[in-house]
Chains A and B, each alone.
Chain A
Amino acid sequence: MALKYSIRFSGAGGQGLIQAARILAEAAAIFDNKNAAESCSYGPEARGNASRADIIISDDAIDYPKIDSIDLLMVLTQEAYDRSVKDLSAGGVVVADRVVKAGEELSGRKIYQVAFTEIAEKRFQNPGMVNIIALGFFAAINGAIGSKSIRNAMLARVPKMSEPTYMRAFDMGLEAAREYKSK
């Protein structure tokens, strides 16, 4: 069956989630030769606060870059979770920072909770890398886009001299996923 997968990244403005979404979309489209579309919030409300980016990954042509329901929701704040959880598809999955409190609204759907922000702060000493750690985690748990493609797409988006830093953050995300699975 042809793949069609929609992902939403949502958090606080400036957490780098739009960048993470773009990396993922480019990984699928450029390095995995799938079709991908990406859109993000740009209205006056995006001037400082809201941060949301949607991507669609598909084997077939994408007629419209907007998503109807979310197959995977990646959120870093409670507000972002509250805003988007209603759009989750029936079999949808959530990847959330540990600060997020999920409740009955999930109706049994899968949620991965990882202390992304804490890892960025404590083990990486740079909270700004939270998006890349989350991306590494996603690379390890998803079946839609290859981990190597995500890594290549990520490196194509960063300054050359920052490559080692980003690689380390990405690997921390992979490691977090390994730890999660082993629990």
Chain B
Amino acid sequence: MKDPLVRLTEKTAALGNYHRKYLHVISSNIEELTSALEQRGVREQVHLWSYSMEVPGEMDTVLETAQSESQKLDFLGCYFGLQFLQMNLRMVDIIKLELATQSERWRTSRRLMLEAGRMFRYLTKSYMERLLGIFLKDENPPEHVMLGVGTRADQDDIDLGIIHREPGDTEALNRAIGRLSSEMFKKSTRLHFHLSEHVGEHRLTATIDEYEDILDKGLYDFVIVTEMLGAATILGSYSLFEDFRTQVTNRFYYDPAKKENRFHEGYLRGILGEIRSLLTSPRPPETINPKDDGLRPIKSLLSAQKLLHGVEKTNAWNIIDELKTKNPKRRAQYDDLEETLSFFEVFRHLYQITVAQDEDIDLGEPGIAEQVAKIARMIGFEKKGVVSAKDFMLVNYYEFRDRSIDAVHILTEDLRRHLHDVTIFKPIFSGDIHRKPGYRGNLAVDFIRASTFVKGITYWDDFQQELVGDDNPFFGEFIDSFDQLPPKVQHKLAEGFVAGIEYDPSAVLRFLVIIGRNAKTDQAKHVFELIGSLFIEKLGKLANATSALSHMLYNCPDILNSFLALIEWESLAKFTELAHRKPALPELLPVQKQVAALTDVHYQSSHFFKQHFHKILNKYPVFIRNLHNNDRLKEITDGSYSDLTSIPSLGERIERLGDYYDLEFVRVSLLAMAGTHSEQTDAEFIEFCDNYTHLLHELCQQDVYLTLGYSMHTHDLFALYATGGHAREQGFDDDYDMIVVLDSDDSDEIDYCNKIVGKMNQHIVKRGVLPHHRFADHFGSYVVSFDLLADHLCRDDEDVFVDQSQMLCSRMLVGTSKLERKLSEQVIHPHIFGKGERYIEFMRAEMTARHAREDDEQRSNIKECRGGLRDIEMLLLMYETRHRVRECLSRRFLHRLSELHPESTEDFAGIVDHLNFIKNLRDLYRLKVAAHNVIEVKYLPSVAESMGYGDDEKAAQVLYDQFMNRTDQAGKVIERLVGKL
């Protein structure tokens, strides 16, 4: 027969490694214990190798066999270890059996988890009672009660609160508890005394008076209160515990008869902030954490709900049972919480006893997925078709999590409403205090003073809400009161407002943005700048600033974006430096990159870019989290475009189409700023721009029809042409040149189409782009007929050459091929190509005159300088006229010219290369510096960085010199090519 220790060791291999500690204790003492029991003739009275139902009695028998105190401790520890291992082995067997056969899986899980908790408490209580008996032998301890204040079935540690009542030897009691802690650390479970760290002067125990004292002085936080509210006796004086409840914990229950429920309110604010923080914290994608994903939010919520509904139970399931009775309208939500709790508890329990006691479960770590699969089968999940038991369980995991989050949201909303009704700040919000005649206080100071009744509060949404709104009198009064204080006091007060950053930086950020957005006066701006700079300073001093920044990005990306838009340049530089700090935790790296991408965009972008960026990002926070991920951004913008057809309201559809434009503008701009070649960004820019114009025309047509109540069939007669940069397929222009032609002289039809174009203009302007209608001034109408156009372009005066160029480079966006043919045959061929020589001469003269006027500033003008964009455009127009072809004047045409003129292939290839260079430079200058054409070397470092030159002044100078040399060279090539015409 196998040695029982060997057998137990083998069986324990099925459990997690931490069980080795117990095997170590057992193997060190089992021989001596067995021998002592046999010598006493009581071996048969003690279950050493099987689970016992008589633990206290058997522990006493074990103690009777020991000769010394140290032997007592060793024997007792050995017996505890044996029972502990067998308890867990038994529990695993029971769970496997019951969950594989029971149909009501979550009800059974609840029963099993309650049983697991009961077994663990039974064993530990028996052990602790006997250890204390040993350590307090011959002592005269005061009356005391030991309270369990944490999760009851958690085997990794036991959270304790110990209360004593004098008279008695308090020092002896504290010494005994210290030894209890040491002994249990060695042979059983760690004890934690979080409550003791905060209460009293007796180190590990405290009196009721001492508890009352910290409450009265506000020297506590909601974590302590949660522990107190969840306290249940392990051993000791029950009447002492009853007195503790009456005098201490009852203060936190809501009492409608009381004028003020200050303690109740403080705790609710702490819990509401905690729940929000838990639900919005970023989570690594491959990691699950049952505690943070479900158990903590649920238990925090229940701890607050029980105060509202007068529930005194401490076990989460029992609290839910009573809440269902006392608050029946939320029964469905409580049912969801109950099931999630049961599932998460059983899963976590099994993971902790069979794998490891970690809370984070990284499914990507080698071997972990297999362990999770084992647990899935233990819980009763089976492979179904191609879905494995593990995947099936994980789907359930996320479904339960989502259901519980929904329920938590609904129930926290109830708490918020309740808070609104009972808050002690009501007189402040309503103005009853500070607007009363004879008031000598200060609103800002009053608020901070009133809000310090409990540490760690992060829920101040109601106060913040009171500050929102244009010309809000409460906001004005708040700012005035702040402004009246001496600078030192202002600073101190500002520190008070940012104090919560350690607990929930997002809450402070929200407050700041409210101040910043409403800051119209110098005083308000001063308050914002003072609190804002302290916020950034304090953020930098946090142990893990990256974690706080990640939290903000996940929790409120729109608010973070607004804050960055509101702060001054110097603060933005400091914030950007923080955002680039490498996170200590690898899982935060992806989020840190997102934060850095956001701050970089703010720090290194022009007003031209920001006007699109700010407009759209607060509406689409998901965009903010993906600024560094073009593929994801493209999915979002494509989705938003495809989704347009499903929007029933025309107005909303037009608005969303505008959002599509702005989102795409931002996406393509980011692509350019990341160093993508202008050929690609131009193509992507023109694609979304054309999509936008095309659909906008359709929607405005419908709008005119709905407004007028009738339609005119102008479809085959109407043509909309882009001209200028858009026509040449160049992105990032800030104007939009258009020509609208109608194949009709009917004034009603022209009027109808003018209305459509007028509406289009209204929406295009909202995009920050100015629509230019080339012929509108001349004809007094956006829409021009073919005949009028032909009459105009056939003239010989100088202005007409410019209009001819516009017409020549135009590109049809809306219209039929029939109309394009008509324009080509009736306008372009006879009136432009037909007078080609004259046109080319005019262009040549204009180019020469412009070059002759060139001064230093003009030399740096990327559009107008010799070899600049204008020269390239004119070169293409002249060659288009020479060849009498209708072509889009883009890079494609340059390639074609290279084929048509093999003798100039090298020159045309050089122009393509040069166009790419100056287009890259011009786009980046517009996006990162300003939408100006004159390039200034002092602003070039960030542009140089995107173009791969480096990011310092030296790199900027190299880039600038290249710009000068290249344009100079290109100017000569262009002159040579023009000379060949």
* Interface residues of A, Cβ cutoff 8 Å to B: 11-15, 22, 25-26, 29-31, 33, 35-39, 42-45, 47-51, 61-66, 76-77, 79-80, 83, 117, 126-128, 152, 155-163, 165
Contacts and interface: CB of A to CB of B under 8 A. Distances in A.
A110 B943 CA distance: 47
Contact of B548 (A49, A62, A127, A162): A49
A127 B174 contact: no
A49 B181 contact: no
Given A15-B585, A79-B542, A30 B21 contact: yes
A65 B191 CA distance: 10
B202 to A, nearest CB: 10
B697 interface: no
Interface string B333-373: 00000000000000000000001111000000111101100
Nearest to A48: B547
A112 to B, nearest CB: 19
Given A29-B185, A51-B543, 17 more contacts: A13-B544, A15-B584, A35-B186, A37-B182, A43-B455, A44-B223, A45-B502, A48-B547, A49-B542, A50-B502, A62-B182, A127-B584, A128-B585, A158-B17, A160-B17, A161-B370, A163-B17
Of the listed residues A50, A117, A126, A161, the one surrounded by the most CB atoms of chain B closer than 10 A to its CB is: A161
Contacts of B17: 155-160, 163
A64 B178 contact: yes
A12 B366 contact: no
Nearest to B540: A79
Contacts of A161: 366-368, 370-371
B22 to A, nearest CB: 10
Interface residues of B, number: 57
A83 B18 contact: no
Contacts of B224: 43
B179 A61 contact: yes
Nearest to B224: A43
Interface in B179-216: 179, 181-182, 185-187, 190, 192-194, 197, 203-204
Contact of A64 (B204, B223, B542): B204
B548 A159 contact: no
Contacts of B455: 43-44
Contacts of A35: 182, 186
B277 interface: yes
B917 interface: no
Nearest to B203: A64
A38 B190 contact: yes
Contacts of B367: 159-162
B591 to A, nearest CB: 13
Contacts of B24: 30-31
4 residue pairs, one from A and one from B, having the closest CB atoms: A161-B367, A44-B456, A12-B584, A12-B544
Contacts of B502: 44-45, 49-50
Contacts of B277: 47-48
A35 B70 CA distance: 13
Contacts of B182: 29, 35-37, 61-62
A62 B178 contact: yes
A127 B164 CA distance: 46
B547 A42 contact: no
B356 A157 contact: yes
B296 to A, nearest CB: 10
B25 A30 contact: yes
A77 B370 CA distance: 35
B222 interface: yes
A77 B355 contact: no
B185 A156 contact: no
Contacts of A76: 584
B18 A156 contact: yes
Interface in B1-24: 16-18, 20-21, 24
Contact of B355 (A36, A50, A159): A159
A50 B543 contact: yes
B891 interface: no
A48 B281 CA distance: 9
B926 interface: no
B887 interface: no
A26 B21 contact: yes
Given A77-B584, A165-B366, A159 B193 contact: no
Contact of A43 (B178, B204, B221): B221
A3 to B, nearest CB: 14
B543 A79 contact: yes
B185 A37 contact: yes
B503 A44 contact: yes
